[in-house]
Structure 1
């Protein structure tokens, strides 16, 4: 008589665990996988209207990005700045701050590194040159974020507006610096002096993959661990969840706000430095890869989880590298990958709205 209730209780517990795991799997599928699939379907419909076979297009993307050694190495190299951008976004978003000035901060960081590295390479050891250039890039981006940070921390000014405005201004300032103060007089194309290939970030052994990807991986894993495993991360999450409650428990919210902005922008500036020091070697006038806003949906798809963001960054990197090859073969505009990102944003917003309504319905 005593065994049956225990068995029943065990079966009930197993059923609860199974149902909880099932609900979690469904939630992950709906919020993380479904938006990507729907965005691919919508973009495929656009390709069909353009007279291109979507399956052929996606096939070329996969083939180029993963099936050829050069393509896969290019895909991994492209991940480096995107991972650093993702780390900067996760840090800001988890603290409840919207740092949308990514492109301006990225370009100022890239310009600072490009301006500093070539002359220093003539007199300093290369490891020290690379380190100094990265520090300069981080400092330039962090300083550029100071005004929006102070306005938010001490006057409550909406950081979405100020960071976007500073981003546009940062792009213009960077372009002006390239054309004037840091112009290479020996070239006909407006650009900074070029850092020699031998002086750039070394590739991983036996490949053409920039070692900048290791910097990106370390940064995003470190941010993930800080935000989820440390008391400092807990304080930032409290500030993001309820700033008034954070003030009542004694947290210095204005100081933390400025610190988070500076750290987030510094990671974005480091992304610019890694792209220049590892791949391009210089900054050309009017160059802007616009990586910043493209990473935002990836971070939200990952639910601000650093480890999951790595997977989505790999997906987006493969899409960008493969799309370049597919565009040449099929006559599709090279910027079509941005159409997919736009569709991803739209679908993500719809899924989030439906998810919120579903939570409300289940509670009522």
Structure 2
């Protein structure tokens, strides 16, 4: 048998395994989405709403309509940055669930800072300083969970969630007291004028925050998969004891992961203010971070797949808001779909683990 024939046989022999791996990945990613949408359709039927008509209207408004499609891309901007934040943390084995607090505090401080800088700095200077401020605020709010995790081994799920609750409350206090615009009767920060916000892309209404989010996800993907620093973080996440034996400083890398992850969450808040909102009202909290968690897991922490799932969620979100008004469905039904997706994803992972354990 020639070497060429042997190589062909080996390639053919490897095809079934490759196909099985591809089918498994599809079942664990696309499968939960389809099942969640099907269960959501059953709930709509119980509510007396035609699920096919509902989903068709969601697609029409969130994807096919020019205005809706531009709104979908704009909605993706903070979601992509939060997804990048979670990818860094999860790939390093750290559960930074404090993204909502980091996001909101970054947004509030940027909303208060931006109008003060206008007139004192050039246009791009204001935007750059505000984004740096948002990142700094997010990173600072992660210091306590980072230090407790790195040097005391305290579970970061608990501490980061606690800091989220504190951050949301502190943001409201800042809006209602320190940053309240005296020219308004409703508690809110000063408003950054539209001309001073992030520019629109190609003459559309799409905020350039969308481009910032895309770049952030791709840079994080490259960092975690193609650089020595990313390899160190993955080793820490996979086996901290092995990382110690390899001479890696686990505490310092843990603090670095928290800082990078939280800075991206703070940047998401800054981009949302600079690109869309312009100000922050009291009690405003979109709770984007926890919503993005199942999307990142569905993507298996892959940057390219994450972009696709964030796009899908944005279509559901924008289209769902229009469908809710037209068809009498509650506004939060999109969150019901996300919750179903998380449950189905967990069940799919459990069944896959059992199948693989049985196969061994």
The alpha-carbon deviation at position 188 of structure 1 amounts to: 1.3
1:113-132 equivalences in 2 (<5 Å): 113-132=110-129
Q: TM-score normalized by structure 2?
A: 0.98
Deviations 1:56-109 (A, max 9, x none): 110110000111110000000000000000000000001110000111111001
In structure 1, distance between residues paired with 2:77 and 2:17: 36
Deviations 1:19-43 (A, max 9, x none): 1221122112111110000000111
The alpha-carbon deviation at position 18 of structure 1 amounts to: 2.0
Of residues 313, 326, 331 in structure 1, which corresponds to 2:323?
326
In structure 1, distance between residues paired with 2:270 and 2:8: 57
1:21-170 equivalences in 2 (<5 Å): 21-170=18-167
Q: Is residue 2:237 matched to residue 1:240? A: yes
Partner of 2:286: 289
Q: Secondary structure of the residue that 2:71 maps to in structure 1? A: helix
1:165-184 equivalences in 2 (<5 Å): 165-184=162-181
Q: Secondary structure of the residue that 2:178 maps to in structure 1? A: coil
In structure 2, distance between residues paired with 1:86 and 1:362: 33
In structure 2, distance between residues paired with 1:220 and 1:113: 22
In structure 2, distance between residues paired with 1:359 and 1:39: 24
Partner of 2:312: 315
The alpha-carbon deviation at position 122 of structure 1 amounts to: 2.6
In structure 2, distance between residues paired with 1:18 and 1:152: 44
In structure 1, distance between residues paired with 2:258 and 2:227: 19
Instruction: Tell me whether 147-156 or 353-362 shows the greater mean CA deviation.
Output: 353-362
Of residues 261, 264, 268 in structure 1, which corresponds to 2:265?
268
1:295-310 equivalences in 2 (<5 Å): 295-310=292-307
Of residues 334, 338, 344 in structure 1, which corresponds to 2:335?
338
Q: Is residue 2:210 matched to residue 1:213? A: yes
Aligned length: 360
The alpha-carbon deviation at position 13 of structure 1 amounts to: 2.3
Deviations 1:103-154 (A, max 9, x none): 1111001011101001101321111011111111111111000000000000
In structure 2, distance between residues paired with 1:239 and 1:116: 37
The alpha-carbon deviation at position 6 of structure 1 amounts to: 6.8
**Which structure 1 residue ranges, 4+ long, deviate > 6 Å from structure 2?**
none
Q: Secondary structure of the residue that 2:284 maps to in structure 1? A: coil
